[in-house]
């Protein structure tokens, strides 16, 4: 059983409502943290959350004090764009968010440019149970000498077989505040199982999370 005192489950009537609430909550938290001088945010770069990223980027906070990176990234050939960080960069174009410092994960040493522990972490649950690029059969980076690891997808249905960079579970769980978006019954089943047990990536994350966690649940788009 995970620490229920640190976890809040919020039900939404629509996906649009959940997206708006996640963006507002993330902006409020980052805005508060930036008042202290600086803040760090780890965000998902999948295209399904582009609207949320765009809403977050439109909020009038001190973006010049915020460092943004992504939860994970695909390894690409030299000269090719990194898809996740490219999505974030696109969402953050223009004022006011263009003043944020955006740090891509191009190798295991990207953590040197990101304030840790993270002030804010936003995660999207996948149907197979993974968070970031931590798959159910991986070791989640426990014992790694650095907070970023290379991960090879171990599920046949995952699009693309290229290795990925991902923050380790200990690094992700250090976040002061985590927002998790869950849409659809299959992903909600993953959340429900994780609330009961530490098995799987999400369950393991919730069992060692050092900050508060807000899970926003909604029906599928």
Residues of the chain with pLDDT under 70: 1-5, 77-80, 154-161, 221
- Is the peptide bond between 96 and the residue preceding it cis, with omega within 30 degrees of 0? yes
* Angle 178-158-133 from CA coordinates, rounded to 5°: 30
Catalogue all structural domains in the chain, each as residue range(s) with its CATH number. 4-218 (3.40.50.1360)
Residue 221, pLDDT score: 64
Query: pLDDT by residue (tens digit) across 164-208?
Result: 899 999 999 999 999 999 999 999 999 999 999 998 999 999 999
Residue 132, pLDDT score: 94
Residue 13, pLDDT score: 92
Residue 160, pLDDT score: 52
Residue 5, pLDDT score: 54
């Amino acid at each position: 059983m995970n620490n229920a005192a640190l976890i809040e489950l919020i039900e939404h009537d629509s996906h649009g409502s959940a997206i708006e609430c996640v963006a507002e909550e993330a902006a409020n938290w980052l805005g508060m943290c930036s008042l202290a001088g600086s803040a760090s945010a780890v965000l998902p770069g999948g295209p399904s959350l582009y609207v949320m990223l765009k809403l977050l980027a439109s909020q009038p906070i001190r973006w010049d004090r915020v460092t943004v990176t992504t939860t994970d990234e695909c390894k690409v050939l030299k000269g090719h764009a990194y898809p996740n960080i490219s999505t974030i960069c696109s969402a953050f174009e223009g004022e006011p968010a263009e003043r944020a410092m955006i740090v891509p994960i191009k190798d295991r040493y990207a953590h040197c440019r990101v304030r840790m522990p993270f002030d804010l972490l936003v995660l999207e649950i996948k149907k197979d149970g993974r968070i970031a690029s931590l798959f159910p059969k991986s070791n989640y980076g426990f014992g790694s000498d650095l907070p970023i690891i290379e991960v090879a997808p171990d599920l046949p249905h995952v699009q693309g077989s290229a290795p990925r960079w991902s923050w380790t579970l200990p690094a992700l769980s250090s976040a002061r505040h985590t927002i998790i978006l869950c849409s659809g019954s299959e992903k909600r089943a993953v959340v429900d199982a994780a609330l009961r047990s530490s098995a799987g990536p999400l369950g393991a994350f919730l069992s060692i999370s050092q900050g508060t966690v807000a899970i926003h649940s909604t029906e599928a788009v």
